[in-house]
Amino acid sequence: MIRWLIAFIVGAVVAWIAYGRAGTSLSARIALLAALRGLAVMLVVALLLGAPAGRSRAAPALVAFDASASWLRAAAGDSTKIRDALRAALKEAAADSVMLTGDSVRMITASAALESPINDAQSSLRPAIDRAAALSRPLILLTDGEIDDGSLQADLPAGSRIIVPTRTPSNDAALSALESPFTVNAGDTLSVAVVVVAGGAGAEKGTVQLLLDGQLVGSSPVTPLGAYASRRSVIALPLPRGAKKSLLQAVVNTNNDAEVRNDTLGMALDIGDKPAAVFISTSPDLDVREALSVLRGALDVPARAYLRIAPGVWREEGPLRAVTEADVRARVQGAGLVIVHGDTSWGDVSKRTRGAHALWVPAAPTAMARAGENVRVSEWYATGAPASPLMGALAGLPWDTLPPITAASPAKGSFTVLEARLGKTGAPVAVIAGRENAGFRMLVISGSGFAGWSLRGGRSQAAFVALWGAMFDWLAAARGDVGAARPVAAIVRSGEQVRWRRGGTDSMVTAIVTRRTQTGSGQGDTVSLRFTNAEVETVSAALPVGVYDVRTSGATTATGSSVLVVNASRELVPRAPALNTTSATRGLSAGAGPRLADLGWVFGLALLLLCAEWLLRRNAGLR
């Protein structure tokens, strides 16, 4: 309405300027000429402003159906109710097609939607909402409400509404998490955490069992749970001797359980006789002790530390058990991540081209002052973290309040992780630098005294943990494997892409994925994995539920093997509904009414009015 008002005012002003400003006497002929001029100008301005040509009307609604498998979890009898709700939504919208959403968005006919299976492995509603918004049409969304992001409701187009049919709750106990390291050491005892989640009617008492390669190795009782409640149990798991790739499974058994597909959760365990991370120090000090505490907290892999306390005398950090230098070198050869503190030339670690390593050069001891001399310790202060792959984790740290360190020679690398200044006044010098190439990562640390940050406590200790945790995390992502690539995530579910981590420098890796069957191994499928020079991870398509044997090979990397366990879809794990039935939101979608510019005859009418005015002006003797 405001656009038409603006066009009317502009037309009236132009007509008054042309025929009323000069003080001409008002006559029927002059009034007609002014009206023709005003109407013509008003139409032209209305066309330029995109004025509407009629009353706005609601755009026809789109019907979207959440086809995720959570609809029929523990409630297969609700299928008829779900179809009836979809049929009612189609009738309300007078629609003959349905937008199915879940794993993907696809348009199908209404009749096909009423017969389509409800088994998508995801509840992805965002694409359906974005498509309705792009078309400026309201959305009638039929869903069970079990989604991760309840804030999607605020992004619905105007005039949309949500329908969440009422369903009958049932007793159900499901496993939502199995927490254990992916790579473990033979002979160790693991603390495996299992999380049990109840359905809409709760869960009755039962037990959780741990199976290692099909053999019972531990159990824990499960007490009754309320609706959508969860409980975390920790079970001790002693590992056998010998390197092998094993299958770890957790199974929950409760009374009157309505859904058995979510009762089992499995993962692969890579049991080895060599640690995945090794810390070597030829000159142990407080820095080593504090860095080791962060290393073991940051990495979800076995880590061992070995200290040289005298020439040729080595001890294993922790129990201080004596070890030979040959044993230490053997550990280093099989480790994917190696940190060397002190003599960085030890073991030729700097020549490694696989996995990741860090070389830590401590500062030389300060010379003792003689009588009558004053020797001031060189104090270096951290000043900031320049642009680097670790900058995001180090942003906002209180560099100006940290205690000083003692720097050695400047650290060299393709990028700088941390800079320091001598006495806060000198030029910035790199004390930590890094390099990355084709999946290989390296850090160079120069200096001593970092433990002073941790020992001060408070914000200084938090900065120490953030810095060393970020460095160890970044290195661990490229620790590699014996093979060319291996799966990253310990828990993989149906419908989710499989993430892979490269083990060497090959950019193209071939993976043969073979599904295990009751009669043995089935036919293997070939999966091509492509890694860019700067990335150590990539993804491949989702796989069906099952246990898979994986063999990978590259052009320069030896063939390696691993086990991949694909569990039931996350949609089968109970979740409290995040959405409820709502009424239609107010308002109309943008562009719902007809526009004046869409009517071609309006342009002709404006031109006709201008021509009529010109002819009448000439007839009246006006220029």
- Kindly report, residue by residue over 439-459, the tens digit of the pLDDT: 788 999 999 999 999 999 899
Instruction: Confirm if 478 and 356 have CB atoms less than 8 A apart.
Output: yes
509's torsion region: left (phi>0), alpha (psi -120 to 50) or beta? beta
Instruction: Confirm if 211 and 249 have CB atoms less than 8 A apart.
Output: yes
pLDDT on residue 119: 87
pLDDT on residue 176: 94
- Kindly report, residue by residue over 565-579, the tens digit of the pLDDT: 999 999 999 998 888
Comparing 22 with 261, the larger pLDDT belongs to: 261
Query: What confidence tier does 436 reach under pLDDT thresholds 50, 70, 90?
Result: confident
- Kindly report, residue by residue over 155-197, the tens digit of the pLDDT: 888 888 899 888 888 899 999 999 988 888 788 888 999 999 9
Helix (H, G, I), strand (E, B) or coil at 89: helix
pLDDT on residue 73: 84
- Judge whether residue 327 has pLDDT over 80: yes
- Kindly report, residue by residue over 467-483, the tens digit of the pLDDT: 999 999 888 877 766 56
- Kindly report, residue by residue over 566-612, the tens digit of the pLDDT: 999 999 999 988 888 887 765 545 445 667 787 888 888 888 888 88
Looking at residue 356, its amino acid is: A
What average pLDDT does the structure give for the chain?
A: 85
Q: Average the pLDDT over each of 204-218, 544-558, 587-601 and give the range with the smallest value.
A: 587-601
Strand order in the sheet with 230-238: 173-179, 189-198, 230-238
Q: What beta strand segments (E) does 27-105 contain? A: 62-66, 97-101
pLDDT on residue 522: 64
pLDDT on residue 290: 92
Pair of tokens at residue 545: 């539920």
- Judge whether residue 132 has pLDDT over 50: yes
Which is nearest to 380 in space by CA: 447, 443, 432, 434?
A: 447
pLDDT on residue 168: 82
- Judge whether residue 374 has pLDDT over 60: no
Mean pLDDT of 317-321: 87
Mean pLDDT of 128-146: 88
Helix (H, G, I), strand (E, B) or coil at 197: strand
Helix (H, G, I), strand (E, B) or coil at 202: strand
Comparing 594 with 270, the larger pLDDT belongs to: 270
- Looking at the chain, the whole-number percentage of residues with pLDDT higher than 70 is 90
Query: What confidence tier does 24 reach under pLDDT thresholds 50, 70, 90?
Result: low
For the full predicted model, state whether its pTM sits above 0.85: no
Which is nearest to 294 in space by CA: 455, 469, 429?
A: 469
